[in-house]
Structure 1
């Protein structure tokens, strides 16, 4: 992957959660992870400051990929923020699908992946 700054939306501070494991894997492989979770905002997750929203995070970092660990019904507002901040890619983890939000993102020029694990895809391709 050429992208280096990956926002992990819905990341958990708990190390036993998939979002935490994927973020740790990406970080171990040289990617800068940007935790986004309003309940954890202001804390450190994997040594990185956690932001309440993508909008807040985008004030500090240019975000290449938004990796979503949210329910499918929660994806439309994430896509709206992705469009507003000019993100390049929205990635919906395994089991997460929202066709209308994906179409909206694509119409805005954002690359979209659904129902795929970023960690697994990285392991396969890199």
Structure 2
């Protein structure tokens, strides 16, 4: 029997996920404000999400009012979403760690350009919501009326809000 194939969530599902999520571990957060992981995490924190930055190379530093964690095992146990900024081939062990370490986990979100059949299978086996090749910042802006054209198809990238 073939494994179920990933299909992108509809807007109602995305809206429900974003409305119910409280704490997001952003795996691969950079302290560099021009990096996408930084401005996505910053944006989410400014929208009321508790954002837990995860980056072993910057553990102990402070970003968005939170201490940067070395691993998902160091994140609060009530973390309900993990947003992953890593290349696709690095995703499965991150998802395995999230499943093992975060008992309140409900959603695995892989950023634009990041896809993993293995991660999807793990998430599905645990009954988790799984989103790949999308950005929660972009979807939040689109679904809640905040989408601006700056940075989209303009050739200009900006980390400002």
Q: 1:108 aligns with which of 92, 101, 126?
A: 126
Q: Does 1:90 align with 2:108?
A: yes
Match of 1:54 in 2: 72
Spell out structure 1 runs of 4+ moving beyond 6 A.
none
Match of 2:24 in 1: 6
Aligned length: 124
Which range is displaced more, 85-94 or 11-20?
Answer: 85-94
SS of structure 1 residue aligned to 2:57: coil
Structure 1 unaligned segments of length 5 or more: list them. Answer: none
Q: CA deviation at 1:61?
A: 4.2
Higher strand share: 1
Match of 2:86 in 1: 70
Which range is displaced more, 110-119 or 39-48?
Answer: 39-48
TM-score, normalised by the number of residues in structure 2: 0.74
TM-score, normalised by the number of residues in structure 1: 0.94
Q: How far, CA to CA, are the matches of 2:64 and 2:79 in structure 1?
A: 18
The structure number with the bigger radius of gyration is 2
What's the RMSD between the two structures over aligned residues? 1.0
Q: CA deviation at 1:122?
A: 0.6
Match of 1:27 in 2: 45
SS of structure 2 residue aligned to 1:12: coil
SS of structure 1 residue aligned to 2:59: coil
Structure 2 unaligned segments of length 5 or more: list them. Answer: 1-18, 145-161
